[in-house]
Every structure is written in structure tokens, then in C-alpha cells.
Chains A and B, each alone.
Chain A
Amino acid sequence: MKETIRQLTEAFGPSGYETEVTSLIKTMITDFVDEIKTDVLGNLIAIKKGASNGHKIMFAAHTDEIGVVVTHIDKEGFLRFATVGGVGISTLVGNRVRFPNGIIGVIYHEKADWKDLKIDKLYIDIGAESKEEAMEQVKIGEFGIFHREFCDLGNRLIAKSMDDRVGCAVLVEAIKKIKEPRNALYFVFTTQEEVGLRGARTAAYDLEPDLGIAVDVTITGDMPEARRMEVSLGKGAAIKVKDSSLIVHPKVKQILMDLAEKNKIPYQMEVLEFGGTDAGAIHLTRSGVPSGAISIPTRYVHSPSEMIDIRDVEASVDLVVALANKELNELN
């Protein structure tokens, strides 16, 4: 499991450019699914057909991560950039960026007061000494990610893009564990979540599921002077109640809670006052899809060092596996 998370978090996949991640996932799961395909937006869709009378469940974990896109290269070879997804200014200065060909750069700022720091006062230095030299390495419109290695602290792990590669890892592990599911399972490794839940929307339209479940990270409130949030690392899978993108269908929430109780899976309830997940896009598709989310508690979300607890990841896998095998007539 840890090795899966390491591989996934070290892969390159800013929104819109997730191919390296989806290819990696494809190699991990091909032998364990009945069918696998990619759609127009780049979503990777893996299918386990299940019993013929089961319900159609769409599980979604997003493959994209926040990053940057180069908007300008100046005479001295410094790059200007825009952010891709929700990137906080405070995480940028001194941080490193990696481009698809392995080029590394450091972000720094023009002379400015910290409180006046805006994105157009920041630049990326890739060590080039001229515009020409820089342009040989990156182009305008090149997408990059924050460069940071995976780190194993025992129960706790730190990496960039835990959001949402840890969700991808949960689905990869679940796919390996589920043998003969009662339900028809559509595991969708979605694209462009960080810029507006985009991949999930077109995938859900295409698949027409009976139930949608996003597997994504959520924030915790268990750090010094943290924002109030009743989710902690190590206390189990978080069952979402609401966020800004959806109110979880009451039946779906109850099904997940009952499954956790019955199977003695540690869980906690997640009430998120902001943010959204793929379930937000899925539940409004076509005539509506009952939807919910299983969240992995994560500290320092959208920083280059996001921290999770491996026990929460295991609980989340168990919950996905339990749901895959549950008779779901109460949804009819």
C-alpha cells in the first residue's frame, strides 16, 4: 500500500495533463478488471462487471494535482506563471516546480511586502541565463507541478498530491481486493477536478450510475490552533455529510455508516464548510444520481507536503470493498 502511494504521489499530473498518472494506474490494475478505457477528457475508466442484478456504482478519485502554467519568459530567462487549481501564495516562495521533461525551478518573489505578495510578483528560476536558454527547456503554456519527494514516517506519510493520489491508491487497492462483486463497479480515475470537477461530470454522464461515490481527501482540525473541524488523522475513514459542492444523499450516508458499523471499520463524520469533490458533479448529472463521498483525512491540503495516516487509508479501502458487495435495493 505505501509503495502504491509513493509511486502515485511522485507521478506528474497537473490538471489537464494527467496521462502519466492514468498510465501508471492502468499498469497497476489492468489484470484485476474486466474492461478498461479512456474518454475524451482523459478519464481512466476501469470496470468490474459484477453480478447481473447489481447496482451500477461509480467510484471517482481524481488523478490531477494543483500546479502552475508558464505564461511568460523574460529576457533574463525567468518564467512568470499562473496557478492551476487552488494554490495558496504562502506555499509558493522557495518551493520547487517540476516540468514534464524533468526541468526543476525555484519560485521566488520580486521585492515586496509579504502581505502585498501577489502571483504576478512571483517568478520561477530554472537556472537559465537567457530567454533563449529558458525557451529550449520550457514553452509558454507548459504545465508544471510542485516538486517534493514522498516521505514515510511510520503510520503517517507525507507527500505532494496526496490530494488525490491517496484516493487513487484506495481504489487501486480495493480493485485488487474485490473478487466477485455483487454490484457493477465503475472505477473512474478522473481528470481536472482541481479546476472545477470537470472530468467527473462528463464521465458520470456517459456511465449513468445508480450511485456515485467520490474518494478524496478532506481537511483535519487536529493541529495547533487549527480551524475547527471534527476530523482527525488516524481516527478512520471520513464519511462526508456535506461540502460546498453537495449534500450527501441521506440514504447514501446511512448506508456507509451502517457498513462501517457492521464491518467494524473505524470512521468519522465529515462536515466540510468549503471545497468540493467529484461527487458534486456526479450527483447533478442527467436526472440526478444519489451520491456521497469517502474522505481520507489529510493535513496541510494543497501544500507540497500533505500528511495522511495509513490506518485511515486502510479503513477507506475496507469501506469501498464493503460497499461494492452490498445489496443496494434501498436505493431504488
Chain B
Amino acid sequence: MLLAQLTEVNGAPGQEGEVRNLIREQIEPFVDEIKTDALGNLIAIKNPRAIGPKVMLAAHMDEVALMIVGIKNNGMLEFRPIGGIDPRVLVAKTVIVGKKKINGVIGAKPIHLQRPDEREKALSIQELYIDMGVKDKEEAKRLVSLGEIAYFTTKYEEFGEGKVKAKALDDRVGCALAIRLLQEDLSFPLIAAFTVQEEVGLRGAGVATYQIKPDLALILEGTTASDVPGTDEHKHATSLGKGPAITFMDRAVITHPPLVKELFALANEKNIPVQARRNTAGGTDAGQIQLTESGTKVAVIAVPCRYIHSPASVMSKKDYDGAYELIKHYLRCLEEREDFQ
């Protein structure tokens, strides 16, 4: 199962090797050219010399994770998040640490030892540590070096009514969509960029786009769903099960209006449920892709995920398949269009 494999490999920003190897294996039979660039982006090209629009699909391979930044005398590890992680979701989660893949638990002072004022507020990152069960600093140093990464250990699982639980759905779900779409038989040049370092500032996407020079780009993402108890409806960015979300605007981009309009019209025509992303916070690779060189037409299609950037996010397979159907139809439409320069 593609999504299970993709979410169970690890790839912090800048350390996407495992993810890249898995994706390369999956797509090699379906593409004509494939390369890894200086930043580590995996760029796969189908029909490089065909005529027609040059279409780019982009999905980032990196996930939020924890970097080891210190070892205490008792062997406990200090860490800092890479990418946006709410420290409140971390206590008591299991992790796997470093190249040697050592099991660890994120620990904190137990509640009966916390001062009354400490109980009132969430623990900060500085108050948390990773416990590998070692006896002292020396033993810890034999297992882990500073700068190594700790990852969440969540297994992929399907549950409830067509729901999926996994870590790193942001953005392995986008990677999975791109992998599936590369298997389509199309006549124009289709280029997939599996990008690096999105979570720390959209860093891989710009250099990938500079090499690809696409006519238009579709950015495939996992995005926040806040349809959970205790939130007002007008603060739900997206809702699970109501189809893929299409972005108008976020912190990094205003998507190309005609392209967005076409996607909504096509979804309507093909009876694919879609929703507008109803929030302008956050940013995606689209921000960099749009502004590369003389500019690129961009749209963002995202699968809603609850509890994004946490050890376990939840998405609906219906939204995932809806995103696939919508983009597949859009690519087929492009084939029939003659007005495309």
C-alpha cells in the first residue's frame, strides 16, 4: 500500500534520502528521465520532448521532526523541532532516534512533582527530553550524535469510515498523488518534483522550478482540517470528507485565478466534491514556484488532514481519491486544449 509505505519512512527537512529512494523505486518504470539535484529534490520527467504544455506536479518529501541538540549528564536528550510542531502534542510520545534507530520516549517531569503554576500551562520544549533508557551521557553518546533526528513512530492504519491515521501525511499524501498521476498515459511533458525542505521555508521548490521551467504547476499538499469539537465553523480551514481543498490565498501565494476557476468548474462537471480552503494562514511550495524566473501559473490542491504536524494525523480516503480524480481529469483536459501556449 503506497501511502502506508510513504508515511512509514522518515525524512526530516534536509534528510529526505529514505523517502527519495522509495519514491524513485516507485516511479522509475513510468518516467523517461529522473535525477536528484544539488538540494536533494527528485525530479522525474515524462515525455521530455513532447509538444504541449509543460506541466509540473510538486509535492514535498520532508516532514516535521525533532533534532537532537544536547545530551544531559544522565543521558537524556535535548531536542528542538524542525518545522512547526506544537510542543503540547509531544509528551509521552514514542520516537525513533538517529541513524542507529534507537527507541525513545519523550519525557517530562511527572505531574505530582510540578509546581502549581507549572500544572496550569503546557510544558515548553525546554522542559521536555527524550529518554532512550540509557544509564548516562557516555552511553547515550555511543548511540546518538548531536544533529541527528528523532521521528514519530506512528504506524499507518485505516479505521472508521474510510479514514486513515498516519504520521507525515503532510506531505506524503501529495507524494502519493504525484506517484499515481505519473502512471497516467499523457501526450505532453509531465514533470514531477518531489521537493526538499518545505517545512523550514519552501527551500527546495524554487531551485527545482528553475530547472524545470514549467508552463503551469499543480502543488499537491496535505492541509489543515479544523473540523473538530470546540472550534467555530467559521474557523474551519477545511473539513474531512468534503473533497480536496483548493487554495485561493495563503501567506505565500495568491493562486492563479483562471486556473482555480477551471478546477472548480471541472470538479462540478465531473461530480467530484471539492471545497475551498477557508483560511489564508500557512504557506506551501506554490509561493516559491509562482515567483521563479518570469513567473509560473500555480494552483494548490490539498487533502484535508486533522492534527497536522503532530505524531498522528487523520485524513479521509475519499478526499485523497477525489484529489487524484480531479487532477487526472484536469491533465486529460489539457491534452485536448489547443489554446495552450
Contact = CB atoms under 8 A, between A and B. Distances in A.
A, B co-complexed? yes
Contact of A202 (B233, B249, B257, B291): B291
A71 B234 contact: yes
Interface stretch (B12-20, B275-283, B307-315): B275-283
B279 A202 contact: no
Contact of B234 (A15, A72, A203): A72
A82 B280 contact: yes
B254 A192 contact: yes
A41 B290 contact: yes
Interface string B250-287: 00101011001000000000000000101110000000
Nearest to B281: A82
Interface in A229-278: none
Interface stretch (B93-101, B156-164, B179-187, B293-301): B293-301
B135 interface: no
A250 B109 CA distance: 57
B235 interface: yes
Contact of A71 (B252, B256, B279, B294): B279
Interface in B209-249: 232-236, 248-249
A201 interface: yes
A69 B249 contact: yes
A127 to B, nearest CB: 19
B255 to A, nearest CB: 8
A140 interface: yes
B294 A40 contact: yes
Is chain B's interface secondary structure helix, strand, loop, or mixed overall? loop
How many interface residues does chain B have, given as a range? 20 to 34
Contacts of B279: 71, 82
Nearest to A195: B254
Interface in A116-143: 120, 139-141, 143
A39 B257 contact: no
A152 interface: no
A165 to B, nearest CB: 19
Interface string A188-201: 00001001101001
B234 A84 contact: no
Identify the interface centre among B257, B278, B279, B292: most chain A CB within 10 Å of its CB: B278
A120 B294 contact: no
Contact of B293 (A15, A69, A141, A205): A205
Interface in A22-47: 39-41
Contacts of B257: 16-17
Nearest to A123: B234
Given A40-B296, A74-B234, A201 B291 contact: yes
10 contacts: A16-B254, A41-B290, A69-B280, A72-B236, A84-B249, A139-B276, A195-B249, A196-B252, A206-B293, A206-B294
